[in-house]
Structure 1
Amino acid sequence: MTAMLSPIRIGPVEIKEPVILAPMSGVSDLPFRRQVKKYGTGLLVTEMIASQAMIRATRDSLAKARVLDEERPCSVQLAGCEARVMAEAARLNEDLGADIIDINMGCPVKKVVNGFAGSALMRDLRHAAGLIEAVVKAVDVPVTLKMRTGWDHDSRNAPELARIAEDLGVQMLVVHGRTRCQLYRGRADWDFIAEVKAATRLPVIANGDIVTEADAAACLAASGADGVMIGRGTYGRPWFVGQVMHYLRTGETRADPPLAEQLAVILDHYDHMIEHYGPIVGVRMARKHLGWYVKGLPGSAKARDELNKLSDPARVKDRLRAFFGPHVEQAAA
């Protein structure tokens, strides 16, 4: 199989294999990104950071903006609706070491769009343009843009926004193949992403419904995109981005890590979450990840319920070892 992807260069940043971890609120934090990086990724993107919170230097926003050298290249995603505030937040993140600033015009969550941020900006392209221009002028690092196909099916204006973004100096686009009104329902329209690709000379990354290696190849074929971004497909599988990279490079699927290795990943991830958030918040934040990690194994529903009731990190780890132990032994037999 001939490699399906070529490197993308945006400013000084080279994305050698453009298979990218998506920005996911409450998921793609520093502890999770570290696990994904171990197995391979072309680019990491932080959780969405509210620009207003960033310039107030809230503890939460600073934690989200923290980027380690081992993660590079890493993009910091910002959301907001005021050009001045977005520009200032972009400058702050550049100073903190962001390799790329990504503008969020794709988030469909009600509390974001009700604040006229995220995908709500696709309803007012003039305002969106002012925001893009302010961010591009504020920083020396590359600026990218993530969007949906439009607000609803009758206003799928992503190709127009792509042309505006290119004219204003944005250097890469990511398109989630749904409208805002679809939220995460239905199927992502990879074919429509091809219309965005045709509208611009910029690299275009396709996003949405990539949960198998074959999905990634099919998405690239349908969209003509220059790369893929993977979000929910990584739940409980921080190795999945690396598997997709391997498949697109070789045509061969790479097996999931052995269960013993998966347990080691889970325990390491858990330790980093406790370190990052502190024990009280970390235990709570980790529960969804633990549920995803154990999913599909016999007895996982009972184990998940028990894990969700535990508040002591040491007891959580003991329960994980007890749950995985028999499965590891069976796999080795």
Structure 2
Amino acid sequence: MAIQVANLNFSPPVFLAPLAGITDLPFRTLVSSFGAGLVVSEMVASQEMVQAKPGVRERAELGFGVANTSVQLAGRDAEWMAEAARMVEANGARIIDINMGCPAKKVVNGYSGSALMRDLDHALTLIDAVVGAVSVPVTLKTRLGWDDDLMNAPELAKRAENSGIAMVTIHGRTRCQFYKGRADWAAIANVKQAVDIPVIANGDIVDHDTAKTALTQSGADGIMIGRGAQGRPWVLAQIAAELTGADVPDAPTGNDLIRIVQDHYSAMISFYGAALGNRVARKHLGWYMDEAHTPAALRQRVLTETDPDTTLSLIPEALDPAHGVAA
């Protein structure tokens, strides 16, 4: 199983979704180490990137020169989008994704993200600007529509394809659903039928069963996993193996898991610096401890510790498999 996007080949067709504050360089690198067809950067605001706002370029860093990484841009102004795309390409990005699916109020109120589904003519000006500015493949990520009365993803996808978009990912909810209810994978089939480019299904895919059902109902060419990878960066590789009939790798346990989590934590400290890295890492440590059934008191100690060396020393105890027996 593989997906061809322009001159790029992505195999397996199991991708990591962009997640704000989560899919940073350390996490994308970790997921890629287990195996993923494509990983996508956190959403990068195009104007802020061009104006070199602190922290913005770091979100796109892994996209530079890495074949299985996409840098995702968002914005509402064609000139800023085009300039950001040129900048990202010049730094070595191999593929650029346009965000027209983020439901966050501050994004939508800025007429970016899924707000663009209410004005497809304007959305197309942004797509045309980015596609026209770069030579690398450009993809699109969006939702089924704005709400139940405006389910226009098939129209947007078709117009985007005509403008040169090479692949489209559909989250199986409307903007007004945010992340509530269940993703409607069957509705993604309408997009698949409307275009000839690859279509990726996204939303509520967390294991082999949901992945297989999503592919069956949507007819999509691949899947994208977001929240399902939290605390389980190896899950994409496991799902891909099951879908292709390959031997499914076991989830890391014992000393292997401890090493992975400690290395992930250390990478975040190195990337962000001690103070910020420790704060940003807490959500990831929390998810790892969810899987390990870490006792509440120990969990609290790990998540409130401010010294990185002490945190590293607490990780083996926090991930002790005996916790799962007692839970």
TM class by smaller structure: over 0.9
Secondary structure in 2 matching 1:149: strand
Aligned match of 1:218? 213
Q: 2:46 pairs with 20, 30, 51, which one?
A: 51
1:18 aligns with 2:13: yes
Conserved 8 A contact 2:200-2:220: yes
Structure 2: how far apart are the matches of 1:68 and 1:179?
A: 28
Q: Please, which moves more after superposition, 223-232 or 6-15? A: 6-15
1:129 deviation in Å?
0.6
Structure 1: how far apart are the matches of 2:185 and 2:295?
A: 34
1:274 deviation in Å?
0.3
Alignment of 1:178-217 (within 5 A): 178-217=173-212
Q: 1:235 pairs with 230, 233, 239, which one?
A: 230
Conserved 8 A contact 1:39-1:239: yes
Structure 1 letter corresponding to 2:12: E
Structure 2: how far apart are the matches of 1:239 and 1:326?
A: 18
RMSD of aligned alpha carbons:
1.7
1:252 deviation in Å?
5.9
Q: Please, which moves more after superposition, 240-249 or 298-307? A: 298-307
Aligned match of 1:256? 251
| Unpaired runs of at least 5, structure 1 | 1-5
Q: 1:304 pairs with 299, 305, 322, which one?
A: 299
Structure 2: how far apart are the matches of 1:326 and 1:70?
A: 39
| CA distance 1:294–1:99, change in 2 (3 Å) | same
| CA distance 1:46–1:310, change in 2 (3 Å) | same
Structure 1: how far apart are the matches of 2:25 and 2:258?
A: 19
Q: Percent identity at matched positions?
A: 50
| CA distance 1:70–1:244, change in 2 (3 Å) | farther
Post-superposition Cα deviations, 1:38-96, rounded to whole Å, max 9, x if no partner, equal 11000111010000111012231111111277953210000000011000000000011
Aligned match of 1:176? 171
- How many residues in Structure 1 have an aligned counterpart in Structure 2? 325
> What is the TM-score when the length of structure 2 is the normalising length?
0.96
1:279 aligns with 2:253: no
Conserved 8 A contact 1:44-1:71: no
1:303 deviation in Å?
2.5
1:65 aligns with 2:56: no
Q: 1:40 pairs with 22, 35, 44, which one?
A: 35
Post-superposition Cα deviations, 1:242-291, rounded to whole Å, max 9, x if no partner, equal 11111111176543112321111100000000000000100000000000
Structure 2: how far apart are the matches of 1:93 and 1:57?
A: 12
Aligned match of 2:287? 292
Structure 2: how far apart are the matches of 1:70 and 1:305?
A: 39
Q: Please, which moves more after superposition, 256-265 or 107-116? A: 256-265
1:147 aligns with 2:137: no
Aligned match of 2:112? 117
1:99 deviation in Å?
0.8
Conserved 8 A contact 2:49-2:57: yes
Higher relative contact order (CA 8 A, sep 6+): 1
Conserved 8 A contact 1:34-1:71: no
1:108 aligns with 2:93: no
Secondary structure in 1 matching 2:170: strand
Q: 1:88 pairs with 83, 87, 98, which one?
A: 83
Post-superposition Cα deviations, 1:150-196, rounded to whole Å, max 9, x if no partner, equal 00011010000011101100000000000000000000000000000
| Unpaired runs of at least 5, structure 2 | none
Structure 1: how far apart are the matches of 2:293 and 2:201?
A: 35
Structure 2: how far apart are the matches of 1:14 and 1:98?
A: 15
